[in-house]
Structure 1
């Protein structure tokens, strides 16, 4: 009886929420490779020079079209608990002094690479400024773990040679495919390709089809890694939910493709939002 009562209350609240929000906000969810290529992902790929004239021209075009779409808020893959730093960076960007500020503040090549090239600044800040937004919001949560080494140990202990071969082959294919595309595609084409159903499905499949099978029957290293990845993305999505106000009829979320592949599955169950595709906005 308790479970039925809880379900009834939950359905009633959902119905009330749906009626209160008659028109869902359009959520432009953009998955991307990391422009600064820090080498932290499982797949290692070659770098795309987003600072070159062709890359900058594509970024100008994309930011202009996304700004014309009219997002009321822009969310990026910056740690939510460090919003103050993001605010400081964006304030300098709006004043037109971002690059000089970064070069005066950081000398470490890795930091310079991050702050000068990463998509948060190159596309997120650029779009927000064109849309005349006062702030860019960080949504990342890094309190989860990603125990890839434990998963591989569990695979070895269980003698899952075929699973390990599938992981190796999938990671190699991701890298080879991206490097091949990057050699011929423009930045705009790479961004559109990263948001195709095929690319997003392959990204998510690595977790559900392969990692989730890792380990012996009584070993849950694989499912634990997958659950932690989902938890991180659920937390990120919760920040978007909490910060999107009734007046925000359109929002943009810019995250790595691995995040976008998971987050887009949450949206159909949330009456507050309706997904918009990047290809529609960049037409």
Structure 2
């Protein structure tokens, strides 16, 4: 049976190479590509779901009058891009709920929570008279690692518990080694405006460094010497996730006349920008020209 499956995999691989060799990829002109602009951000509500946790003393208060004014200014700046669609980091399966909340917001019946998808996404959509905000987020292909079908609560499979424990210890050791630099970066943002923070985090050099961190940190993790535990985990949870997000962006793209604004966690920028540009179906517009 095992040799049978190997034979199928080999046949499909050869077929894929054959089809790719003879297929002609169309060259899309600038006019045939939809414009897309991504703003990489941090999470205003500080859910601390990422590897690096932000202590409460270092968190910005986006309910303050000053920060609310900065958000309003940011929305006005992004509006100059004249997007026809706004995509945010909310799961696709929540689209119906988000549609309902957005409609209530338009009626003045919904107070925006401290979350960038709402604070920026909803405000921008309302300003531009959009009918909806598009949810394009997804989890990666992580079924191998977790039990159950809950879309937001994950229980590690028993056979993966040891791997996750070792992975956490490995991750913690990396963070401890870099704690001084992390603390300095987190504390320094209090004296900066939202625009200044985002302008720095969306610089090409910063985007490349953030991506390199994945390849030089958790990617190197080995549960047992010589295995690919870190590679496999990041492939499933991170790289696959970004490819699914990209697929969702493709799904909401209807024509070359679309101008899509995407608001996402800054760690996603490198992969999403690369996928969009390399597909040759999008013109990736720099957000830096709009948030100076």
Which of the five TM-score ranges fits, normalised by the shorter chain?
A: 0.7 to 0.9
2:132 matches 1:119:
no
Aligned to 2:109: 97
Q: Distance in 1 between matches of 2:162 and 2:190?
A: 32
C-alpha offsets along residues 146-168 of structure 1, whole Å, 9 cap, x if unaligned?
A: 88973561697xxx8xx874453
Aligned to 1:150: 163
Task: Calculate the aligned-residue CA RMSD, in Å.
Answer: 2.6
Aligned to 1:15: 26
2:189 matches 1:182:
yes
Judge conservation of contact 1:43–1:174 (CA < 8 Å) in 2: no
Aligned match for 2:91, one of 74, 79, 100: 79
Q: Distance in 2 between matches of 1:144 and 1:81?
A: 16
Aligned match for 1:49, one of 55, 61, 75: 61
Aligned to 1:141: 138
C-alpha displacement at 1:222, in angstroms?
0.4
The structure carrying a bigger helix percent of its residues is 1
Q: Distance in 2 between matches of 1:43 and 1:149?
A: 22
Matches within 5 A, 1:192-231: 192-215=199-222, 216-228=224-236, 229-231=238-240
2:254 matches 1:245:
yes
Q: Distance in 2 between matches of 1:33 and 1:85?
A: 23
Q: Distance in 2 between matches of 1:9 and 1:174?
A: 51
Q: Distance in 2 between matches of 1:134 and 1:155?
A: 42
- Which secondary structure does the structure 1 equivalent of 2:80 belong to? helix
Judge conservation of contact 1:29–1:278 (CA < 8 Å) in 2: yes
Aligned to 2:127: 130
With 248-257 and 231-240 compared, the bigger mean Cα shift is at 248-257
Aligned match for 1:70, one of 77, 82, 87: 82
Q: Distance in 2 between matches of 1:231 and 1:3?
A: 20
Gaps of 5+ in 2: 1-13, 146-155
Q: Distance in 2 between matches of 1:73 and 1:230?
A: 25
Q: Distance in 2 between matches of 1:43 and 1:245?
A: 37
Judge conservation of contact 2:85–2:258 (CA < 8 Å) in 1: no
- Which secondary structure does the structure 2 equivalent of 1:15 belong to? coil
Evaluate the alpha carbon distance shift between residue 121 and residue 178 of structure 1 in structure 2; reply closer, same or farther with a 3 A threshold. farther
Aligned to 1:254: 263
Q: Distance in 1 between matches of 2:285 and 2:187?
A: 28
C-alpha displacement at 1:218, in angstroms?
3.4
Q: Distance in 2 between matches of 1:42 and 1:23?
A: 39
Evaluate the alpha carbon distance shift between residue 150 and residue 242 of structure 1 in structure 2; reply closer, same or farther with a 3 A threshold. same
Number of residue equivalences: 258
With 22-31 and 81-90 compared, the bigger mean Cα shift is at 22-31
Q: Distance in 2 between matches of 1:282 and 1:164?
A: 34
Evaluate the alpha carbon distance shift between residue 91 and residue 203 of structure 1 in structure 2; reply closer, same or farther with a 3 A threshold. same
Judge conservation of contact 2:83–2:261 (CA < 8 Å) in 1: yes
Q: Distance in 2 between matches of 1:213 and 1:77?
A: 27
C-alpha displacement at 1:264, in angstroms?
1.7
Aligned to 1:104: none
Q: Distance in 2 between matches of 1:227 and 1:44?
A: 22
Evaluate the alpha carbon distance shift between residue 130 and residue 140 of structure 1 in structure 2; reply closer, same or farther with a 3 A threshold. same
Q: Distance in 2 between matches of 1:271 and 1:177?
A: 39
**Normalized against structure 1, the TM-score is what?**
0.81
